[in-house]
Amino acid sequence: MPTTHLFLALAVVFVWGTNFVVIRWGLDGLPPFLFATLRFAFSALPWLLFIPRPTAPWRKMAAFGVLLGVGQFGLLFLAMRGSISPGLASLVVQVQVFFTIGLSLLLMGERVRGFQIVGLLLALAGLAVIALNLGATVTLLGLGLVLSAAFFWACANLVVKSLGPVNMLHFMVWSSVFAVPPLFTLSWWIEGPALMQSAVANATPLVWASVLWQALGNTLFGYGVWNWLLARHPAATVAPLALLVPVFGMSASALSLGESLPGWKLGAALLVLSGLAVIVLWPRLQARLN
Whole-number pLDDT of residue 289: 65
Dihedral sign for Cα 94, 274, 112, 128, please. Answer: negative
Check whether 239 has a pLDDT greater than 70.
no
CB contact at 8 A, 277 and 239 = no
- Exposure class string for 251-283: b at 16+ Cβ within 10 A, else e: bbbbeeeebeeeeebeebbebbbbbbebbbbbe
Q: Is the peptide bond before 46 cis (omega within 30 degrees of 0)?
A: yes
CA dist., res. 213 & res. 157, Å (int): 22
CA dist., res. 126 & res. 131, Å (int): 9
Nearest CA to 137 out of 273, 250, 264, 259 is that of 259
Per-residue model confidence as pLDDT tens digits over 69-128: 999 999 999 999 888 888 888 888 888 877 877 777 777 666 667 777 787 788 778 778
* Radius of gyration (C-alpha) of the chain in whole angstroms: 19
Check whether 236 has a pLDDT greater than 60.
no
CB contact at 8 A, 234 and 88 = no
Per-residue model confidence as pLDDT tens digits over 243-280: 777 888 888 888 888 877 778 778 877 887 787 777 76
Nearest CA to 16 out of 277, 241, 266, 167 is that of 241
CB contact at 8 A, 199 and 30 = yes
Check whether 166 has a pLDDT greater than 90.
no
Whole-number pLDDT of residue 180: 95
Give the start-to-end residue ranges of the domains of the chain. 3-110+140-260
Whole-number pLDDT of residue 284: 67
pLDDT band at residue 10, thresholds of 50, 70 and 90?
Answer: confident
